[in-house]
Amino acid sequence: MIGLLIHTAIATPQFELESQSYIYPSSYWEQRTVGTFSLQQDRWTNSLRIIHKITDQKHQIELQGWELYYTSQRAHFTLEIGNQVIRWGQLDLLSDLNIINGIDQRFGPTIKPQWASIPTASIRLTHRLQDWNTSLIWLPISARDSISWIGTPWGILSNDHVDALLNEAQRWSGDLITESLIQDILRSIQESLPNTSNLFPDDQPVDYGDIGLRIGKDSIAYASHIYASWMRSRRPLARLNPELVRFIKEERLPNSLELGVINDILEEPVQITYPRQLLVGMDLSTTLSVFGLRAETCFVSNKVRPMTYMQGSTRPYISGALALDYAFDMNVLILETKLFSVLEPVSNPWLEANQSVQIAGVGQFSLPYSFQLQLTGQYDTSLQDGLIQSILSRRITDNWAISLQAMMLYGPESDNPFTYSSGILGQWREYDHLSLRIQWNP
């Protein structure tokens, strides 16, 4: 992966252009070019991000994110209205409170953290009185995660999974044309899944939208907030057609006497819903000697939990998380850990555990000769999957910088992606990569 980043700033407007080429072990390649324009003037904030993607199969241009909102202040009140990113919680990597915006998951862990949150149409009214503040949020249109489902490197079923399924199905029993039938079913599934690349989600039910409330205190000694929300899940609850699941489990295709079943599968191969859920939680940030301390806890009434063969369900969920920050000289260490539990465990969890301890860390180090090293790691103790990323960078001149990046994903092997016992990072374990990026800032 080779990239070139150009950033130009003229007074208030800013323009950024980044081009990166990806080559994966499976011979799949991809070229992404992202252009970002931002402008803040008076009470208006505008940020537009457009992506052009080229693969060996197609190319497309789409709007990845558009932040445009208006801010008005009167006495102790602040009103923000428009398409915006609103952050809840204190943790950076393992937060369960940061649910206002959908998350862009189409590029897996390769997306920049600052681009992961999708701007959402919302209205936020904030009242501040000394150290105390209260924020009320209303989203007329529920936010959704943006997901690659089938046939991409960072999809729930990647290119390799689809190819393996097609090859395996050739041996299944049945008297219909195997390849054409499976292709029709896959195409029908793809068309039934939500188009998450749209600026505004489609097929949204008309209701009263989503609401959220945050009450807290931000002082010099500490900051703490209480959260409550009644929102639709950002993650979809997906359920494959039960007849389709039956054929996959039995490793056979429908025969000519089951044409009615085939029509039912093609008509509704997968059911997608976004159930409502109640969230209550609390966070805290303070200092403890030389350490920064951040903590979160939350309860979700019915969190979406995926099950094998894409048979999702909802369950009550509780979590607690803690982060420690330590800065010395020109170096920074951040360690986050989260303990969570599904209060009514699902019988056959898929890509996520019923309970686990997750660990994540970031280290930024200044090295001799003006080199900078950043190390990032993440691990799930139950699923035994994770990633390790290293970025070595150096600013050559005031205008030029170069960086070398390596990413490794790991998890146990599996023959059947529908019953994979590890997590999504393990599902992507074949997509390790190296990258080289060159930056220029005028």
111 burial via Cβ count (<10 Å: 0-12, 13-18, 19+): middle
Q: How confident is the model at residue 181 (pLDDT cuts 50, 70, 90)?
A: low
User: What per-residue confidence (pLDDT) applies to 195?
Assistant: 60
What is the pLDDT averaged over residues 246-273?
A: 80
User: What per-residue confidence (pLDDT) applies to 52?
Assistant: 80
- The C-alpha atoms of residue 438 and residue 6 are separated, in whole angstroms, by 9
pLDDT tens-place string over residues 305-330: 999 988 889 999 999 999 999 999 99
Per-residue pLDDT for 3 more than 60? Answer: no
| C-beta of residue 46 within 8 angstroms of C-beta of residue 38 | yes
Sign of CA dihedral 260, 266, 268, 272: positive
Over the chain, what is the mean pLDDT?
Answer: 85
**Which residues 6+ apart lie within 8 Å of 288 measured at CB?**
none
Sign of CA dihedral 305, 308, 312, 314: negative
User: What per-residue confidence (pLDDT) applies to 1?
Assistant: 35
pLDDT tens-place string over residues 71-111: 999 999 999 999 999 999 999 999 999 999 999 888 888 88
- The C-alpha atoms of residue 350 and residue 304 are separated, in whole angstroms, by 12
Per-residue pLDDT for 187 more than 50? Answer: yes
* 318/157: higher pLDDT: 318
User: What per-residue confidence (pLDDT) applies to 7?
Assistant: 38
* 95/113: higher pLDDT: 95
User: What per-residue confidence (pLDDT) applies to 427?
Assistant: 86
User: What per-residue confidence (pLDDT) applies to 202?
Assistant: 54
Residue 407 pairs with which residues in a beta bridge?
389, 433
Supply the pTM of this predicted model.
0.87
In order, the DSSP letters of 233-292 are -SS-EEEE-HHHHHHHHHTB---GGGHHHHHHHHH-SEEEE--EEEEEEEEEEEEETTEE
In order, the DSSP letters of 23-73 are E-TTS-EEEEEEEEEEEEETTEEEEEEEEEEEESS-EEEEEEEEEEEEEEE
Half-sphere exposure of 287 (CA within 13 A, CB side): 7
User: What per-residue confidence (pLDDT) applies to 175?
Assistant: 57
370 burial via Cβ count (<10 Å: 0-12, 13-18, 19+): exposed
Per-residue pLDDT for 11 more than 50? Answer: no
Is the backbone of residue 161 left (phi > 0), alpha (psi -120 to 50) or beta?
alpha
Q: How confident is the model at residue 159 (pLDDT cuts 50, 70, 90)?
A: low
What is the pLDDT averaged over residues 350-366?
A: 95
- The C-alpha atoms of residue 142 and residue 149 are separated, in whole angstroms, by 20
| C-beta of residue 133 within 8 angstroms of C-beta of residue 218 | yes
16 burial via Cβ count (<10 Å: 0-12, 13-18, 19+): middle
The pair of structure tokens assigned to 403 is: 């960086």
| C-beta of residue 435 within 8 angstroms of C-beta of residue 2 | yes
In order of their start, the domains of the chain are 2-149+193-236+274-440 (2.40.160)
- The C-alpha atoms of residue 310 and residue 270 are separated, in whole angstroms, by 9
What is the pLDDT averaged over residues 422-428?
A: 89
Percent of the chain with pLDDT over 70: 87
User: What per-residue confidence (pLDDT) applies to 4?
Assistant: 38
Of these ranges, 22-31, 371-380, 406-415, the one predicted with the greatest mean pLDDT is 371-380
- Amino acid 295 reads A
